[in-house]
Amino acid sequence: DQQVKQNSPSLSVQEGRISILNCDYTNSMFDYFLWYKKYPAEGPTFLISISSIKDKNEDGRFTVFLNKSAKHLSLHIVPSQPGDSAVYFCAATEGGSGNTGKLIFGQGTTLQVKP
Amino acid sequence: NAGVTQTPKFQVLKTGQSMTLQCAQDMNHNSMYWYRQDPGMGLRLIYYSASEGTTDKGEVPNGYNVSRLNKREFSLRLESAAPSQTSVYFCASSGDRVNYEQYFGPGTRLTVT
């Protein structure tokens, strides 16, 4: 039972254009969402996050949108750069005082930005 | 400040052999996690330790044991390795229950033949 799904295994975009990576979830108890970026032979690194009380969070070229009613979030990268080529994972967690900090990850989407 | 360190970086085992993957963090984080990454499967949680002295099963704990040696160190043991345990293993830590960010180590690539 995959609670967090990234249905596009790969995405290819031209440098300078927008990259949109999508993520769907099924657990309505999730209330905090994160995006991680992973280069080959390295560990994942945190990129951006969003709380369920917001519908948008922006950090430079990266913006995450959350649609709670659709249980869907997306990561927009504008403009895309060749250095953005990596695997992107979305993750979710249930908040609250009893939360242990466990993250549930999606399968990942490999982004290739062509020069 | 090294963050999260893992040893070894690479390991090849024969079926039935045992080994321990080591993880240490120097960020004074309370929580530590072990994940495995397999193609098309994302990162799956094996075990976690919400605080020193506690450990709990994640999504895929079978075939593994863990020890939270102290606040800094969290080890993962394979008692009798199987080819299905061929994977890349990541350790992570977190200390912030506000934004839930986890910091990952560089990974251990394990092959079981």
B44: Cβ contacts below 8 Å, ≥ 6 apart: A105, B35, B36, B37, B38, B58, B59, B60
pLDDT one-digit tens code per residue, A57-77: 999 999 999 999 999 999 999
Give CA–CA dist A69/B1, Å, rounded.
42
pLDDT of residue B78: 96
The DSSP bridge partners found for residue A34 are A49, A91
3-state SS, residue B16: coil
Taking all residues of chain A, what is their mean pLDDT, rounded to a whole number?
94
Listed in sequence order, the DSSP H helices in chain B are none
pLDDT of A94 > 90? The answer is no
* Residue contacts between A and B (CB atoms, under 8 Å): 67
The verdict on B31 touching A (C-beta cutoff 8 Å) is yes
A79: distance to nearest CA of chain B, Å?
25
Contact A75, A52 (CB under 8 A): no
- CB A103 to CB B100 under 8 A? yes
Tokens of B4: 């999260």
pLDDT of B97 > 70? The answer is no
Tokens of B41: 């499967």
pLDDT of A14 > 90? The answer is yes
pLDDT band, very low/low/confident/very high, at A96 (cuts 50, 70, 90): low
The rounded percent of chain A whose pLDDT value lies above 90 is 88
Based on the number of CB atoms within 10 Å of its own CB, is A106 exposed (0-12), middle (13-18) or buried (19 or more)? buried
Among A65-79, A92-106, B10-24, the minimum mean pLDDT is found in A92-106
pLDDT band, very low/low/confident/very high, at B95 (cuts 50, 70, 90): confident
A111: distance to nearest CA of chain B, Å?
14
- CB A41 to CB B40 under 8 A? no
Say how many residues make up chain A.
115
pLDDT of residue A97: 60
- Compute the average pLDDT of residues A14-41: 95
Give the Cα-Cα-Cα angle B45, A25, A86 (nearest 5 degrees). Answer: 65
- Compute the average pLDDT of residues A40-54: 94
Chain centroid, CA A7 distance in Å: 12
- CB A43 to CB B99 under 8 A? no
Question: What end-to-end distance do the CA atoms of chain B give, in Å?
Answer: 36
- Compute the average pLDDT of residues A31-57: 95
